[in-house]
Amino acid sequence: MTGLLTRLHCQRTVFRCLCLPVLAGMLVTVGCVKKKDGTMLFVYDGESQSVLVWKDVNSVYAPTTGTTPAAADATISSSLLTSVTPPLAWGGLAMDTNTNMLYLVTQGGWVTRISDASSQSGSLSNTTDIIQFTLGSATDRFSSGSVFGQAAMDSSQNTLYVMETSVDGTGTRVWTLPTASHIANGAGFAAANSATLAVASDTWGSGLAAGGSGTVYGLFGGGSGIVSPSNPGQTIGGPRLRQGQNNAFPTNLLGIGQNVIFGSNTGLIGTVNYGSLAYDGQNNVLYAFGQPAAAFATTPTTTAQIEVFTTSQFSSGGNQSPNRTLTGVTSNLRILSHPQDSDWLLGATFTPDTSTTSGVPPTGAGSPNLLIWKDPSGGGAATSVSLPGVTEIRGMAIGGNN
């Protein structure tokens, strides 16, 4: 018996001696696993109707030589991108970092999905690389017609969101596309399949951002009065920021604002003719830009600013001031984008067509100028760079693995 115990003890000792180096190697291996950086930059150029890709946004922010960034590392094109009209919606570019899929949404509701986006280059035609589907049909749209706007991707839920606004601004809603990566080529995604987010009193859907885990944010440029939660005797109209889940923006039968920020303190003044949102998932803040109709002009001014709200402010709602602001922004800022998991903020400007100040969300021409805030959570001014090979920025996204 003693001999048997001795042999078992020796076997356990040998096992430990053999396994410890293996386990140590496994631990070293695990310890060396590095999170892939989501710093790739995708820009849609409205002139060439293609996507330009830079492997590292930092190289665009701080070029190694001179002040102009180097040419894009890759250009993605396809007959699918040039065969549909009207053009890409302003801010209609969204990246799913989990599936490595890039989504492009046109103003008319065509959606193009590019697979393995971070590795693509050249002209794509194979349906394993690129497919296209539509958002509903004519009967799914507002009776007066509509224009699709900013798109946002919740990578944690594989859900694509798209803002839609009627041409007269009175109707607005957010389309929810669950399991977006599985929508088939040539499909027509009907409104009945979408848990559309809408509040009847809202108008002029202007900006959209996905907050992760099913949370979504919308900027609406106007609407009828909302009862202030801090003062039930006060009703406030005008622009509002809403926080909701992927099935609804919460409302109250008494008209009291829930998860909605609105009023004169917000910095969103007058009817917002157009705007954009970007969500920072690391710091739980929402960047909001709203262009008031009264300031709508072809000559930009630097009196505008980006309002920054913490997500916790939506719990109280009401007439709240932003947590902070980013100043020195030109009033012709058109779209914003944030990677959510790293501290960058992008902006792009345009020259509006003043003939469309009433009615449809304004049209206009984009520019090659990209605004980049590095570490925007710490404030500071943006760096403006002119992107080579780009004539008109209509959408940009940061994400993917370089």
Tokens 């400007």 label which residue? 349
Task: Please indicate, yes or no, if residue 54 is contained in any of the structural domains.
Answer: yes
- Give the H or E element holding residue 372: strand 364-374
Task: Please indicate, yes or no, if residue 4 is contained in any of the structural domains.
Answer: no
Q: What pLDDT score does 297 carry?
A: 63
Q: Across residues 171-199, what is the average pLDDT?
A: 90
Q: What whole-number distance in Å separates Cα of residue 76 and Cα of residue 153?
A: 20
Task: Please indicate, yes or no, if residue 28 is contained in any of the structural domains.
Answer: no
> Three-state DSSP class for 324?
strand
- Nearest in space to 243 (alpha carbons), one of 268, 230, 262: 262
Tokens of 225: 């009065």
Q: Report the range of poorest mean pLDDT among 131-135, 188-192, 278-282.
A: 188-192
Q: How confident is the model at residue 361 (pLDDT cuts 50, 70, 90)?
A: low
Task: Please indicate, yes or no, if residue 18 is contained in any of the structural domains.
Answer: no
CB atoms within 10 A of CB 19: 11
pLDDT per residue over 300-355, tens digit each?
Answer: 777 788 999 999 999 988 889 999 999 888 888 999 999 978 899 999 998 877 66
The identity of residue 182, as a single letter, is H
Answer whether 317's CB lies under 8 Å from 260's CB: yes
Q: What whole-number distance in Å separates Cα of residue 335 and Cα of residue 32?
A: 38
What is the C-alpha radius of gyration for the chain, rounded to an integer number of angstroms? 24
Q: What whole-number distance in Å separates Cα of residue 161 and Cα of residue 173?
A: 10
Average pLDDT taken over every residue of the chain: 85
Give percent of the chain above pLDDT 90: 57
Task: Please indicate, yes or no, if residue 8 is contained in any of the structural domains.
Answer: no
pLDDT per residue over 83-93, tens digit each?
Answer: 887 799 999 99
Q: What pLDDT score does 27 carry?
A: 35
Domain CATH code at residue 298: 2.120.10.30
Opening angle at CA 161, ends 390 and 101, nearest 5: 55
Global pTM? 0.88
Q: Over 70: is that where the pLDDT of 2 sits?
A: no
Q: What are the C-alpha distances in Å from 250 to residues 166, 315, 325?
A: 22, 11, 26
Answer whether 185's CB lies under 8 Å from 127's CB: yes
> Higher model confidence: residue 380 or residue 181?
181
DSSP labels, 60-112: HHS-SSSSSPPPPSEEEE-HHHHSS-S-EEEEEEEEETTTTEEEEEETTSEEE
Tokens 């984009």 label which residue? 366
**Longest distance between any two alpha carbons in the chain, whole Å:** 99
Provide the domain count of the chain: 1
- Nearest in space to 367 (alpha carbons), one of 66, 42, 39, 43: 43
Tokens 């194979």 label which residue? 126
Q: What pLDDT score does 351 carry?
A: 84
Q: Across residues 260-287, what is the average pLDDT?
A: 91
Answer whether 342's CB lies under 8 Å from 374's CB: no
Task: Please indicate, yes or no, if residue 331 is contained in any of the structural domains.
Answer: yes
327-342 in b/e burial notation, b at 16+ Cβ within 10 A? eebbbbbbbbbbbbbb
Q: What whole-number distance in Å separates Cα of residue 86 and Cα of residue 375?
A: 35
- Nearest in space to 376 (alpha carbons), one of 269, 262, 278: 278
Q: Sheet holding 159-166: strands in order across?
A: 146-154, 159-166, 172-177
Task: Please indicate, yes or no, if residue 278 is contained in any of the structural domains.
Answer: yes
| H-only helix segments in 245-330 | 313-316
Range of the domain at 63: 37-398
Q: What are the C-alpha distances in Å from 293 to residues 194, 287, 351?
A: 31, 20, 14
Task: Please indicate, yes or no, if residue 27 is contained in any of the structural domains.
Answer: no
